[in-house]
Chain A
């Protein structure tokens, strides 16, 4: 009986939660910067999620819940130094007054390379908001930083990304309309 019940629960869990594994992996990869460590982080995240799945409220945002667990596992891992993860560096990027127009006709490689050059403190909120579609509040909750900090990091992160891209565009000789 118990076995069947557990099997049924696990099937629901797999059907609902595992569909987000690639999305979570992308973020994990950005955090760990190493495929193997990112895969470990994802596995640990899902094990934790399964252990507390009975506490998950049906109808609330499962994806945001999983991201939250991912970063819990990540921060715990740093604390216990078990996962041997490099902590996210705290960087202070100088305020940039100049905001160039966003160049067009950029390749995906250029966009990805530009993203890589942004400090992770700024990169993560941008990825969570613009790629993973988390709301600003969910990001604050996930990264354990105040909402105001999320907004300022997003603001700077996006600006840094546009600066990097404008550099590429200039080098490639694209027209950047002003």
Chain B
């Protein structure tokens, strides 16, 4: 990379838009070239002051209050002038059925059917894994992953993944992974089917920000893809508590953090994540191929007794990979 190239790419680098390898090349160049290093820090400063300067304008209190009032009225919660939204509108339609005498019995039958169906649905929810498609809003929120976990996963993807991106040779989970999580000892093989078309660069246990992961590093052309398995502990969940259900058929949970897309699956004890700089949709599709079978496999190991719960704990002396 020459200085001209470097300067063209600085802003995209600062935005986190470059491929991991290019980031690496950029840093190598900056290390050697002090004018470019200065230009990079000047542009970083410019970004910061642009941000600062643009952040001054705020919406007026009056406009905010108006907005809140409009939303309330839109939601049918305001005064008499409130507009009806879709659901309230449906209620109105239902009410007119009752008013039409002939249709009243039919409406009662429909209402009873809905009621019974509703109760069944609720029972299914209370069992937790009854019908995973029917999770309540509260249950879905309980499954939400914490910002910590998302940031730690992306951090590990960026640093550890970038380190192994050019690694060659056959990668295999080392036996020492058993120390971290016995269920992960065959992780590379379990993921192999879903990883068709990807090149496995490394397999190991690593940590980022105090969280430990079993980590498979893949590449596809110039895209770096990571598969992580980590403990589903209270710190991993947004609510701070681990729900007793895991939502197998919920589909991929998707996030984008710091320009890295994450797709996640949860089991009762573990979280399987796939990260890359692909768009969120593509990453989610990849996660379905790559992480879902892994989550299904882990679920079978969790169903049998004897799998010791010791994932996610950090003991520096156990570290297999040290960066």
Asked if A and B are interacting partners, one says yes
Interface size in chain B (residues, C-beta < 8 A):
53
Offer 29 A-B interface pairs, CB within 8 angstroms, sorted by A. Answer: A2-B88, A6-B76, A10-B71, A18-B64, A18-B67, A25-B58, A25-B59, A29-B57, A39-B66, A43-B70, A46-B70, A47-B71, A47-B74, A50-B75, A60-B256, A61-B255, A102-B39, A103-B42, A104-B42, A106-B46, A109-B53, A111-B50, A115-B54, A130-B47, A135-B256, A135-B259, A137-B279, A158-B11, A165-B46
Assuming the contacts A2-B87, A29-B57, asked whether A14 and B71 have C-beta atoms less than 8 A apart, the reply is yes
CB distance from A178 to the nearest CB of B (A): 9
User: Main secondary structure on chain A at its contact with chain B?
Assistant: helix
Name A111's contact: one of B53, B59, B64, B70 (CB within 8 Å). B53
Q: Which partner residue on chain B sits nearest A176 by CB separation?
A: B42
Q: Which partner residue on chain B sits nearest A4 by CB separation?
A: B77
Name B51's contact: one of A35, A102, A131, A177 (CB within 8 Å). A131
User: Main secondary structure on chain B at its contact with chain A?
Assistant: helix
Name B74's contact: one of A3, A18, A51, A136 (CB within 8 Å). A51
| A102 / chain B contacts, CB cutoff of 8 Å | 39, 42-43, 45-46
A6 lies within 8 A of B280 (CB):
no
CB distance from A166 to the nearest CB of B (A): 11
Q: Which of A1-41 contact B (CB under 8 A)?
A: 2-3, 5-7, 9-10, 13-14, 18, 21-22, 25-26, 29, 35, 39
| A residues lining the B interface (CB < 8 Å) | 2-3, 5-7, 9-10, 13-14, 18, 21-22, 25-26, 29, 35, 39, 42-43, 46-47, 50-51, 57-61, 64, 99, 101-104, 106, 108-109, 111-112, 115, 127, 129-131, 133, 135-137, 154-155, 158, 161-162, 165, 177
CB distance from B254 to the nearest CB of A (A): 5
Name A6's contact: one of B8, B47, B58, B77 (CB within 8 Å). B77
CB distance from B39 to the nearest CB of A (A): 6
A99 lies within 8 A of B70 (CB):
no
